[in-house]
Amino acid sequence: MKRILFLLLIVGLIFVSVDADAQCAMCKAVAETGSDGEGQENIGEQLNAGILFLMAFPYLFILVLPLIFFRKQISAFVKEFRGIHKA
């Protein structure tokens, strides 16, 4: 019985489509206005800049958070590494 309900749920989720507005506010504003006063050839550059801007922060968090949480272990490793190579 559980298997049948699970299959019905999966089939229902496959065939149900939901209209979602998943654009960020900056991309949506640029796409709706059509120009920024400099002409329409600049729209693609603005969208690319917005995407790169939004993409940069997760990568910064991925790089910086381990450094914050593991700085004691990193400093101990560096001290040990320097001690080994001095001898």
Residue 6 lies in a domain: no
In a domain, 12, yes or no: no
pLDDT band at 11 (very low <50, low <70, confident <90, very high): confident
Segments forming the whole domain that contains residue 33: 23-86
Query: Is residue 67 in some structural domain?
Result: yes
Asked if residue 2 is part of any domain, the answer here is no
Task: Give the residue-averaged pLDDT of 56-74.
Answer: 87
Give the total number of structural domains in the chain: 1
| Mean pLDDT, the chain, integer | 77
Kindly state whether residue 18 falls inside one of the protein's structural domains: no
Q: Are 51 and 30 in contact (CB under 8 A)?
A: no
In total, the chain counts a number of residues equal to 87
Q: Is 15 part of a structural domain of the chain?
A: no
